Amino acid sequence: MPDTAAEVTVAPAIEAAARDQLSLVLTPPVAAEDLDLDADMVAAYGLTSLNKVLFLTEVCDETGVDLAHFTEHDLAAMITLRHVAAALTRHSDTTGA
Which numeric CATH code is attached to 5-92? 1.10.1200.10
**The dihedral of CA 44, 1, 59, 62: what is its sign?**
positive
Q: Check whether 2 has a pLDDT greater than 90.
A: no
Question: Is the separation of the CB atoms in 60 and 67 below 8 Å?
Answer: yes
Domain boundaries, the chain: 5-92
**The dihedral of CA 38, 43, 48, 49: what is its sign?**
positive
pLDDT tens digits for 4-47? 555 668 999 999 999 999 999 999 999 999 999 999 999 999 99
